[in-house]
Structure 1
Amino acid sequence: MTCQTCGNPHQEHFCPNCGEKRHDPHSLSLKHVVEESLESFTHADHNLLRTVRAVLLQPGKLPAEYVAGRRIRYMKPLGFFLVVNLVFFLLSSTNVFNQPLSSFLTYSPYIEFGTNKTVNHLLTERHETLLTYTPRFNAAMTSSSKGFLVLLIPLYALVFSLIFVTARRTFIEHLLFATYFMAFMLLYMLVVTFLVAMPIQHFMGIQAWVRYGDGLVSFIILFALAIYLFIAFRRFYRTGVVWSLLAAMLSSVTLAVLVFAYRMVLFYKIVYAGH
């Protein structure tokens, strides 16, 4: 039978040239369309669950599998990250990537970067009070903090390429590793938010949380990420125990720096751009 898509005259159940399924005149029946849709949904659902399980429980496995060419059982890296990022965007109102305006105006190291002067100048220019500006800033920060996370992937890929410069990996391979790692980080932060941050915030109260809770949760996140990266480095880059440990610690510290820089970029973006 001839393939309806590419014209290959040797199509069987699937075309060996383009993969198109053999046309069946009865495939447009309601029963067949429903069955095919359910099959596609179930297949995607299984791949998603399998990918989530591997990312959470087997650090470094997915980028290693992808580089080795074993890809069909898991979601593609960028597609998986976008799904996780969407879930993170919908479920997480408070996360490590954002801070309320009060933190930028009160605590170090933010105030060392002129945050008070910047906001005061803005309020004077607009003839607005801090009381009315704060809710708008906080709402914009909550939204923006989750909308630009994809930008951290190439930054982290650059970090990994510098740390493992002798591993003879291409930048694309570092990018794959960074993409799966960022997806894990967002999933892990969701778990920390609901099982750790929210209970602590409820127990401490909002004022104590702003002052002490963020640092505590950030430490918990960095400690767990260091352990995760240690295992992932061993599996993907095949490095020794000592170097994997040092690289994991360095990567965790780098993450703290990137998160701080990300917060500051968002702060100035919101102040100057207004959103």
Structure 2
Amino acid sequence: MTCQTCGNPHQENFCPSCGEKRYDPHSLSLKHMLEESLETFTHADHNFLRTLHAVLLRPGELPAEYVAGRRIRYMKPLGFFLLINLLFFLLTSSNAFNQPLDSFLNYTPYITFGTNKTVDHRLAERHETLDEFTPRFNTAMASSSKGFLVLLIPLYALVFNLLFIRTRRSFIEHLVFATYFVAFMLLFMLLEKLLIAVPFMALFGQQGWVSYGDRLVTLIGLLSLAIYLFLAFRRFYQTGVVWSLLTATLSSLTLAAIVVAYRMMLFYKIVLTSH
């Protein structure tokens, strides 16, 4: 039978030239369409669960499999990240990447970057009061803090490229590793929020969270990310124990600097482009 897509005359169940499935006139039925949709959903669902299991419990395996060319059993890096980012957006109203305008105007390290002067100039230029601008800024920050998380991927890829320059891996390989790692980081923050932060605030209130809970979660987070990266570096970059431990600790500690840099980027984006 001739392939309907490329015209190859030797099509069997699937065309050997383009991969198109053999045409069946009965495929244009509601029953067949429902069966095909269910098959597609089930396949995607299995791939997602398999990818989720690997990224949570087998650090470094997914990027190692991807760069080795074994990709069919898992979701692609960017697609998986975008799906996790969507879940992160839907299930969290506040996150570590979001800060209100008050924090930028009153606390270090933000004020050292001239945040007060920038806001004053913007208010004078547009004849607006701080009370009028604050709620619009906070709304934009809450939205943008999740929408631009993809920018964390090249930032971390650059960090990994510098730390493992002797491994002679290409920047794309570092980018693949960073994509799966940032997806894990969002998953971890989401689980940390739902399983630790929410119950803690329910038991001890907002004041208890500010006094003790926030620092506890930050400590647990940094330690957990360091352990995860240690295992991931060992598997993906195949580095020794000592170097993996040092780079994992350094990478975990750079999270604070990267988060501050990300917040400042959003601050200037919102202040300078808002109308």
Q: Same fold (TM over 0.5)?
A: yes
* Cα shift at 1:193: 1.4
Task: Name the counterpart of 1:264.
Answer: 264
Which piece of structure 1 moves more, 131-140 or 22-31?
131-140
Q: Which amino acid is 1:89 matched to? A: F
Q: For residues 43-62 of structure 1, what are the structure 2 equivalents within 5 Å?
A: 43-62=43-62
Q: TM-score of the superposition, structure 2-length normalised? A: 0.93
Matched residue, 2:195: 195
What is the deviation of 1:119? 2.6
How far the C-alpha of 1:252 sits from its partner, in A, is 1.3
Q: What is the match of residue 99 of structure 1?
A: 99
Aligned-partner residue type, residue 72 of structure 1: I
* 142 and 201 in structure 1: CA distance in 2 versus 1, 3 angstrom threshold: farther
Q: 1:214: Cα distance to partner?
A: 4.8
Question: CA 1:220 to 1:131, structure 2 compared with 1: closer, same or farther past 3 Å?
Answer: farther
Matches within 5 A, 1:229-248: 229-248=229-248
d(CA) in 1 for partners of 2:133 and 2:108? 21
Unaligned runs of 5+ in 2: none
Map residues 86-235 of structure 1 onto 2, 5 A cutoff: 86-202=86-202, 205-206=205-206, 214-235=214-235
1:63 aligns with 63
Quote the offset at 1:204 in angstroms: 5.6
From the superposition, tell whether residues 19 and 7 of structure 1 become closer, same or farther in structure 2 (CA, over 3 Å).
same
C-alpha distance in structure 1 between counterparts of 2:142 and 2:264, whole Å:
14
User: Partners in 1 of 2:164 and 2:199 — Cα distance?
Assistant: 38
SS in 2 for 1:23: coil
| In 2, Cα distance between equivalents of 1:215 and 1:264 | 22
Deviations 1:139-185 (A, max 9, x none): 11110111111111112111111111111211111111011111111
Aligned equivalents of 1:32 and 1:212: distance in 2?
A: 57
Task: Verify the 8 A CA contact 1:98 1:145 in the aligned structure 2.
Answer: yes
Q: Say which is worse superposed, 209-218 or 245-254, in terms of deviation.
A: 209-218
Q: Partners in 2 of 1:143 and 1:3 — Cα distance?
A: 47
Separation in 2, partners of 1:29, 1:268: 54
SS of residue matched to 1:21: coil
1:12 maps to what in 2? 12
Give the counterpart letter for 1:24 in structure 2: D
Post-superposition offset of 1:208 = 6.7
**Secondary structure, counterpart of 1:72 in structure 2:** coil
| Between 120-129 and 185-194, the greater mean CA deviation after superposition | 120-129
The worse-fitting range, judged by mean Cα deviation, of 110-119 and 83-92 is 110-119
Identity of aligned residues (%): 75
Measure, in 2, the Cα distance between the counterparts of 1:54 and 1:223. Answer: 20
Contact 1:103–1:210, Cα closer than 8 Å, also in 2: no
CA distance in 2, matches of 1:181, 1:119: 35
Q: Is the 8 A contact 1:14 1:21 kept in 2?
A: yes
CA RMSD across the alignment: 2.0
Letter in 1 for 2:99: Q
Q: How many residues align?
A: 275
Q: CA deviation at 1:221?
A: 2.0
Q: Which moved more, 1:123-132 or 1:191-200?
A: 123-132
Alignment match, 1:41 = 41
